[in-house]
Structure 1
Amino acid sequence: MSEKGRPFLTLEHITVRYLDKTLFTHLDWELLEGQQWAITGNSGSGKTALLNTIAGRFNVINGGIHYHFYEQYRRQHTITDPYFTYRNLLAQVAHHHNFRNRSNTTDFYYQQRFNSMDAGDAPTVRQYLYGEDAANMPEDTLLAPLRINALLDKELIKLSNGETRRVMIAKGLLQKPLLLMLDNPFTGLDVQTRRHFMEMVNQVIASGIHVLLVTSPTEIPDNITHVLTLDNGAITGRYTRQEFQRLPAAGAAPAAAGPVIDREKLQALVQPAPRAFNTIVHMENVHVQYGENVILDNINWTVKPNEKWALLGPNGAGKSTLLSLINADNPQAYANELYLFDRKRGSGESIWDIKRKIGFVSPELHQYFPARNSCLQVVCSGFFDIIGATRMPTPEQTAHAQGWMEILDIAQYSAQPFKQVPESIQRLALLARALVKDPPLLIFDEPCQGLDAQQKQHFKQVIDTLCAVMELTLIFVTHYQEEIPAAVTKVLRLEKGKAVPS
């Protein structure tokens, strides 16, 4: 066991740059042995950047980081590997996966998880964790709370949100780290899974591993001893757990009102083409199955024009698969009694005919855009229902896209690379991408992931204002009741692939 009170990690007057941006200036912070820290703050405050800095991913141009745990390890062990560094003793689990195909030459594409032949090119959990020669897997009691054994033969691309997070944490723990850094591990998980993950983090800490956790101020596991608060790249507070809990709203700053939406400007921007549909979505006994695994079991659902639905249910309930049928991403739509915009699937309409009528936002979507695309290019790609800036928008389309970015208060990010802006800005850019073509159906799959309290409030205000000034149909997915816009009046709840009473 480590001796409490000795320095474990020290950041001494560090100034950090990434690409052409200064992230931190003269930042000081020390983590002592036995301390377990949560890092919290508004979106874009520098939480993930701080983890990346400690992991050695960003340039420290002034000051220094002292990895005392690494120096202590070297004194206690004989190391023969000349390339052994502090990085061998820490594991960073990002909020988003970086899985690749088995060939390791091409990235996943968005629809791949729903295409059984292409999904076979994805490695299994067993291969990802233990390599191709996974016959002699080591017993590791630390992995027991993650319940990995049931997932070992499942392709990575077919994992649910919660399953993906469990596998990524298992990968980190298999490195036998002295420091485990977790970036928002609870986001996107249902209530029960969040509770399970909290207990899992507590068990990791109890095993002797130091944990550094980026999380919201309301989701801090019991074994976390200290809280660091950030704002705009600066430390605003260092607290013991007890001190932090005594702060107003658990340390969270009151959510500001956010930018006021100009309804006249919004109405001028919204110019939907005349259309008339009897039904937007109609499903009769929809059934989706992969091998022995039933994902959707006899779903009957009708969505009428201008209705606002919440699609709810725990992780793995079948929500993403249901949305993939509507959004023309899943080929099993052709084997089912499914009608979209009054037409039966497979009656001659193309995928693009369907996508043209749908604005879609999901938590995974931003991962699939090329790194070189600007935020404005990402927004403009919504005119063509493509991922990536492979088609040139007209001047009118560009102006329309910029108008939506102004409405969402992200116009200042237009020229910046999409992958380099805060995740909250990426979310809002994807919302603008969904709105630019004035679609009759909006599908929002956990659109508030990565947004802070003020941004969530602004997002809900935008959606409710949109619903007030234009005719649109909405399907909204979330695990947080407070994120559901006031305009939503209907609910479909799924559990284990079945529709259940709300």
Structure 2
Amino acid sequence: MKSPKCYAILTQNNSNINQLVQNLLKNHPVEGLSELKGLNGLLFSRSEIQRYMDEEDRHDIKILTKDSEQPLKTMSSGEQKKALLRHLLQQDPDFMVLVNPFDNLDVATQSKLKEQLMDIASSKILVQLVSRLDDILPNTDLFFKLDGNSLHQYESSDTFWNENKHDATGFDGTIPPPLSPIEVESEELVCLKKVSVSFDGRRILHEIDWSINKGEFWQLIGPNGSGKSTILSMITGDSHKGYGQDLTIFGNKKGSGESVWDLKKKIGYYTPAVTHKFRGYHTLENMIISGLHDSIGLYVQPTFSEKLVANQWLDLLQMSQRKNTHFRDLSVGDKRLVMMARAMVKHPALLILDEPTAGLDDASAHLFVTLVNKIARESNTAIVFVSHRKEPHLTPQHIFELHPSETGSTGSRTSS
């Protein structure tokens, strides 16, 4: 018997994904996917997991985790997606719509999920909406691209792959210098010695040894739930688990009297979730200047020097003509670049990038990674780049990897 068709729809940052998904699930006609008309479809996406989490929190209704005592929100991303997929398959749909199914998953979990989806594709129609070419299943039959609301079908797979390859791009000029250099006397910015952490009696980290020196470029990797976020939160001062540990930050032993705000003045931190805090009408110029004041929005009159350095960053990003554009009106990819400039404008001693390319399309991810590499080369800022995905063209000097075990994750270091 012939296997059902497997569709791939490459999305971009301007793609109206929600509208297309609703059209597919509500059986509205979609050109090129007429085979789905009249069939029953279900959605596999991060938004669906969030919907079930809200049901648990607000109404104490457990659906995905009805056979488990563990709440959905305490599970890793891999466990959550596994629970959702199991629930969907129990309903035996005719087709499934997959929206970026591999986002926020470690490499091993991605591989397992890919095998499972390929097996499902032998008996069910799959419609993949993915922002990354690497995420497309190898048994895909038909290829599309979603540009805004417009869905374009390719005549052949060769045409699709050839037209959507992206070369690494660059930035003209150099990184703007800081207005006032942040002084840190110690060459060693962060040092963890035999750090062990437990939550509710379960060991997360086991005797972690890791040091970060000035100007170093690190990538932090490890499976979901291995303790990456725990380490980051101890460094930034957002977790009390750092107290009582042999943890030194900027030359000061944790608990020796430094405040969280003293730490944050020397640290730049970016994760995509931060972007959602900026809901007001902030111009791009003011967004970058706000990084000098560590504020969400700009509530002081900027100086001439502050405006000058902000515009130097906008020149580098090739956005100088849009300095008065509102941040909220930018594409997702451009927002990430501006947020990167905001995090770097004061040249922090340490820059932490937590899953910064999650959800970006290939072109935007390449551009973001190129900017990160440039900052690593041209500044004295130490960088920690956290990502489940192996980003093409990312050039860290060192990799610190967490290895889970029953007694907690251990760590290993490699250098490129």
Both structures adopt the same fold (TM-score exceeding 0.5)? yes
| Structure 1 residue 236 displacement after superposition | 4.7
Matches within 5 A, 1:362-401: 362-366=271-275, 368-374=276-282, 376=284, 378-386=287-295, 388-389=296-297, 391-392=299-300, 394-396=302-304, 397-401=306-310
The reply on whether 1:202 has 2:110 as its aligned counterpart is: no
Map of 2:60 onto structure 1: 132
How many angstroms apart in 2 are the aligned matches of 1:355 and 1:97? 34
The reply on whether 1:310 has 2:219 as its aligned counterpart is: yes
Percent identity of paired positions between Structure 1 and Structure 2: 25
Map of 1:117 onto structure 2: none
2:206 is paired with a residue whose SS is strand
The reply on whether 1:500 has 2:416 as its aligned counterpart is: no
**1:330 aligned to which of 239, 250, 255:** 239
Contact 2:13–2:331, Cα closer than 8 Å, also in 1: yes
Residues 300 and 150 of structure 1, relative CA distance in 2, 3 Å threshold: farther
2:135 is paired with a residue whose SS is coil
Residues 70 and 462 of structure 1, relative CA distance in 2, 3 Å threshold: closer
How many angstroms apart in 2 are the aligned matches of 1:365 and 1:174? 36
| Structure 1 residue 190 displacement after superposition | 2.4
Map of 2:398 onto structure 1: 490
The reply on whether 1:429 has 2:326 as its aligned counterpart is: no
Contact 2:4–2:121, Cα closer than 8 Å, also in 1: no
**1:181 aligned to which of 97, 101, 123:** 97
**1:439 aligned to which of 325, 348, 351:** 348
Counterpart of 2:70, as a letter, is: D
Matches within 5 A, 1:148-297: 153-154=70-71, 156=73, 158-167=74-83, 179-206=95-122, 208=124, 210-231=126-147, 234-239=150-155, 243-244=156-157, 246-247=158-159, 250-256=161-167, 258-263=169-174, 266-268=175-177, 272-297=181-206
| Structure 1 residue 299 displacement after superposition | 0.8
Residues 409 and 220 of structure 1, relative CA distance in 2, 3 Å threshold: same
| Structure 1 residue 95 displacement after superposition | 4.7
Instruction: State the Cα deviation string for residues 35-85 of structure 1 (Å, max 9, x = none).
Output: 4321115x4352xx144344169xxxxx97699899847xxxxxxxxxxxx
How many residues end up aligned between the 2 structures?
404
How many angstroms apart in 2 are the aligned matches of 1:151 and 1:357? 43
The reply on whether 1:38 has 2:8 as its aligned counterpart is: yes
Unaligned runs of 5+ in 2: none
| Structure 1 residue 349 displacement after superposition | 1.5
Contact 1:181–1:213, Cα closer than 8 Å, also in 2: yes
Contact 1:258–1:455, Cα closer than 8 Å, also in 2: no
Q: Normalising by structure 2, what TM-score?
A: 0.80
| Structure 1 residue 178 displacement after superposition | 5.0
Counterpart of 1:354, as a letter, is: L
| Structure 1 residue 94 displacement after superposition | 4.4
Residues 209 and 461 of structure 1, relative CA distance in 2, 3 Å threshold: closer
Map of 2:377 onto structure 1: 468
How many angstroms apart in 2 are the aligned matches of 1:185 and 1:443? 25
Residues 171 and 214 of structure 1, relative CA distance in 2, 3 Å threshold: farther
How many angstroms apart in 1 are the aligned matches of 2:411 and 2:311? 40
Q: Normalising by structure 1, what TM-score?
A: 0.67
The reply on whether 1:52 has 2:19 as its aligned counterpart is: yes
Contact 1:93–1:183, Cα closer than 8 Å, also in 2: yes
Contact 2:100–2:128, Cα closer than 8 Å, also in 1: no
| Structure 1 residue 494 displacement after superposition | 0.8
Contact 1:402–1:411, Cα closer than 8 Å, also in 2: yes
Instruction: State the Cα deviation string for residues 209-232 of structure 1 (Å, max 9, x = none).
Output: 553432422322245331102456
Matches within 5 A, 1:89-108: 90-95=41-46, 99=50
Contact 1:92–1:182, Cα closer than 8 Å, also in 2: yes
